[in-house]
């Protein structure tokens, strides 16, 4: 049996097919019966039970694979944040020292916005719950807002799911389709940064916004939007409402095993906002330093967004497969109960026929 046929019977949300089982309705205000009425024979029930068992094994394996990968992705997110934060602090400190000077850096040029580019980051695979739907819905909402403001909008789609979605939307202009890898690297981030950099410097777009899923914990991840270009003079990251998307406190869940099953332990990691030493001096011209660090900052922010999106995707897949496994267990119990009741009813009917035949023979004698 193919995988697509198997997943018809088990989904991330518990549900039982009405074509197979149908619960009895309460009569005269009585309570609803907990025993289902069988709509098929014993042979079909056995096939359904075997199919659900196979599905349970598949979803359990996919859950374990996602759990193993999400730990690596989670560590990449946690380990990558200090670099981005330190880079922001350096840019902040340099700009503070250059408040009285004119600095001409192309990526910081703020001009009247007429056209905006959205970089939408999705996954390459499905079976991860509402992960992709959340990001796409966030992008669609932003596109609608921009159209109401009479601003032109284009999309740079990253990920096969986003590519497939926007490819079927002729009313949305897509400048570039980019496929993401299993684990994001600096090379992939540089590819996206180069496209964004060329669009902004050629003045084809006046603003670039990044739409991705921010990883909070294994059970929470939120789609966010923040302005990528023009870069803020102080190096801070804001969303379209002017709110910072950097969390003050991160919840770090460590994967463990308890009694042979997957479990998590919670720990907290607080950010340190220590500035650079006032005694620090720069040998090069500060303008040259900013000009060299701005592209590095752009690349690091895109890489960070890719890492956050990957960790959120794996966490969503792990939760979806966990729900599917639980649903398979419940469905197997229900089908087994229906199978046993049907088999018992059949055996009882055969016994009654034998007894009735014996009684009829006695009467003939």
* CATH superfamily ID and name for 55-267+286-324: ATP synthase, F1 complex, gamma subunit (3.40.1380.10)
| pLDDT at residue number 220 | 86
pLDDT band at 119 (very low <50, low <70, confident <90, very high): very high
Terminal Cα-to-Cα distance of the chain (whole angstroms): 56
Catalytic residue among 38, 77, 128, 210: 128
> What are the structure tokens assigned to 253, written together?
């869940």
pLDDT band at 343 (very low <50, low <70, confident <90, very high): confident
Average of pLDDT values for 120-126?
A: 91
Average of pLDDT values for 63-88?
A: 84
For the beta sheet containing 220-229, the strands, ordered from the edge strand earlier in sequence to the opposite edge, are 173-178, 152-158, 115-121, 207-217, 220-229
pLDDT above 50 for 239: no
Residues 6+ apart with CB under 8 A from 91: 234, 235, 290, 293, 294, 297
Tell me if 225 sits within 8 A of 211, measured CB to CB: yes
Average of pLDDT values for 286-304?
A: 81
pLDDT tens-digit readout, 127-136: 898 899 999 9
Q: Rounded to an integer, what distance in angstroms lies between the CA atom of residue 16 and that of residue 141? A: 34
Tell me if 271 sits within 8 A of 236, measured CB to CB: no
The three-state DSSP-derived secondary structure of 21-54 is EEECCCCCCCCCCCCEEECCCHHHHHHHHHHHHH
- 3-class SS of residue 161: helix
40 is catalytic: no
| pLDDT at residue number 5 | 43
Average of pLDDT values for 39-52?
A: 85
| pLDDT at residue number 183 | 80
Highest mean pLDDT of the ranges 145-149, 295-299, 319-323: 319-323
Average of pLDDT values for 153-182?
A: 88
Higher pLDDT, 239 or 49: 49
């Amino acid at each position: 049996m193919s995988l697509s046929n198997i997943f018809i019977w088990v989904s991330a949300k518990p549900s039982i097919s009405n074509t197979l089982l149908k619960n009895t309705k309460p009569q005269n205000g009585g309570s609803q019966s907990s025993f289902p009425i069988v709509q098929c024979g014993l042979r079909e029930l056995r096939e359904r039970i075997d199919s659900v068992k196979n599905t349970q094994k598949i979803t359990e394996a996919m859950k374990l694979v996602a759990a193993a990968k999400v730990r690596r992705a989670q560590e990449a997110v946690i380990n990558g944040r200090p670099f981005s934060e330190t880079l922001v602090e350096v840019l902040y400190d340099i700009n503070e020292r250059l408040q009285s000077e004119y600095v001409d850096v192309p990526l910081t040029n703020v001009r009247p916005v007429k056209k905006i580019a959205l970089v939408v980051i999705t996954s390459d695979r499905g079976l991860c719950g509402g992960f992709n739907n959340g990001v796409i819905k966030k992008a669609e909402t932003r596109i609608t807002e921009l159209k109401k403001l009479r601003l032109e909008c284009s999309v740079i789609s990253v990920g096969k799911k986003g590519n497939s979605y926007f490819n079927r939307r002729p009313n949305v202009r897509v400048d570039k389709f980019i496929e993401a890898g299993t684990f994001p690297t600096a090379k992939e981030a540089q590819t996206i940064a180069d496209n964004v950099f060329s669009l902004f410097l050629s003045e084809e777009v006046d603003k670039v916004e990044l739409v991705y899923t921010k990883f909070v914990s294994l059970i929470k991840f939120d789609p966010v939007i923040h302005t990528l270009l023009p870069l803020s003079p102080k190096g801070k990251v804001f969303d379209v409402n002017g709110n910072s998307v950097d969390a003050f406190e991160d919840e770090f869940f460590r994967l463990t095993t308890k009694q042979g099953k997957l479990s998590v332990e919670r720990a907290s990691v607080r950010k340190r906002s220590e500035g650079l030493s006032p005694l620090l001096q720069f040998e090069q011209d500060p303008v040259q330093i900013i000009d060299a660090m701005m592209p590095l900052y752009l690349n690091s922010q895109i890489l960070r967004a890719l890492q956050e999106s990957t960790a959120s995707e794996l966490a969503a897949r792990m939760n979806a497969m966990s729900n599917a496994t639980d649903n398979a267990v419940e469905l197997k119990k229900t089908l087994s109960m229906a199978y046993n009741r049907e088999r018992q009813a059949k055996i009882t009917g055969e016994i009654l026929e034998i007894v009735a035949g014996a009684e009829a023979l006695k009467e003939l004698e």
